[in-house]
Structure 1
Amino acid sequence: MTARYATVPTPPGAFTVVVTEDADGADVVLAGGWTEEVGELLPVVHRSLRPDAVAPDPHLAVLDVVEAFHAGEVGAIDDVVVRQHSGPFLTEAWEVLRTVPAGRPDTYAAFAARCGRPAAIRAAANACARNAAALFVPCHRVLGSDGGLGGFRWGTDVKRWLLDHEARHAAVPA
């Protein structure tokens, strides 16, 4: 399978996204992250989904979503179709990450509880660390129990920018 990719400038840095197509020909995100190097994204895609080749495509429809998110429409990422694969806990945890509201980050402990396994804090952190589709599966919305940033594959400066951006633009109920 050949996947397509594109890189666009964003305020926290260049963002690259890798997509493939589903059975109906619609784009599905395999990976995304703040890098100009598509080769940095491919190793985190599960081997069963990893493309044999990648080709640049500057006209990916998902780029409109990336630009809308960075322009302040933080909910724009919510409906992007993502494909990741792993064991049952990680697969479910990535779906749960998509329910963490913009502007209201969870702690790793709260995220573990949200996943139905409150004692699985390390497993919840591992789900964030192994997430290939950063931005669309918003692992940046999970913080340390002390409120600290914790880690982020793309750097804590990017994570801080994303959290501050979402706090400014999210429609958080009073």
Structure 2
Amino acid sequence: MTALIETIDTPDGPFTALVDDRQRVLASGWTADREVVLGRLRAAARPAEARDGTVEAMEAVRAYYAGDVTAIDDVAVHQVGTVGQLAGWRALRSIAPGAPLTYTEFAIALGSPRAVRAAASICARNAPALFVPCHRVLRTGGALGGFAWGLDVKRSLLDRERGERGELVFPRTT
């Protein structure tokens, strides 16, 4: 498979997205280093070739940064993983902007309240960052936790998604 890759500038730094021949996002993140983006994919899922080109999903990224934080919601992604990972990645896309969950709440939403580490692993293995918004999962009490692209980017995304309410709706206590 030949893939297209494109980098654009955002307020959080360069953002690169890799798409397949159907324009589905395979991997993305805040870097200009294409090897870092390719490295987010399992070896078996990496395209044989990645060439520079127009990535349609970048229009949604531009709209997101212009204030339409729901612009990323309908961007097609393609992820390869276990049944549990695929369910988790689908669930991440249902977390509303400005209403993050804790890792515990995310585990509960996945039907496995004790599998908090597995829920965190689903977030950590998420390749199409932003489009599958793993940044919307926090530690209990609202601490940011981890993020592959850095806590400053995670904080910026959450602040941006705060919207006109002027405050972040922190997770409910469990």
Structure 1 length-normalised TM: 0.92
d(CA) in 1 for partners of 2:125, 2:56: 25
Corresponding residue pairs, total: 166
For residue 88 of structure 1, report the CA deviation from its aligned partner: 1.0
| Counterpart position of 1:42 | 38
1:85 to 55, 65, 80: 80
Equivalent in 162, 165, 168 of residue 163 of structure 2: 168
Give the Å deviation of 1:169. Answer: 5.5
Distance 1:167 1:117 in 2: 28
> Percent identity at matched positions?
47
SS at match of 2:20: strand
Look up the match of 1:64: 59
4+ runs deviating over 6 angstroms: none
Q: Pairwise mapping of residues 94-173 of structure 1 onto structure 2 (< 5 A)?
A: 94-168=89-163
- 1:33 corresponds, among 21, 29, 44, to 29
Q: Residue 109 of structure 1: SS of its match in structure 2?
A: helix
Distance between the aligned counterparts of 1:101 and 1:62, measured in 2?
A: 19
* 1:4 corresponds to: 4
Contact kept in structure 2, 1:6 and 1:16, CA below 8 Å? yes
State the superposition RMSD in angstroms: 1.4
Q: Secondary structure in 2 aligned to 1:40?
A: helix
- Structure 1 residue 120, shift from structure 2 partner: 0.6
Over 3 Å counting, the alpha-carbon distance change for 1:78 and 1:138 in structure 2 is: same
What letter is aligned with 2:136? Answer: R
The SS at the match of 1:44 is coil
- What is aligned with 2:15? 15
CA distance in 1, matches of 2:10, 2:130: 12
Q: CA deviation at 1:146?
A: 2.2
Query: Using the alignment, how far apart are the partners of 1:123 and 1:142 within structure 2?
Result: 13
Structure 1, unmatched stretches of 5+, are none
Q: Flag structure 2 segments of 5+ consecutive residues without an equivalent.
A: 166-174
For 2:57 and 2:77, the matched residues in 1 are separated by 11
The separation in 2 between residues aligned to 1:64 and 1:148, in whole angstroms, is: 31
The letter for the 1-side match of 2:134 is: C
Q: Distance in 2 between matches of 1:7 and 1:146?
A: 35
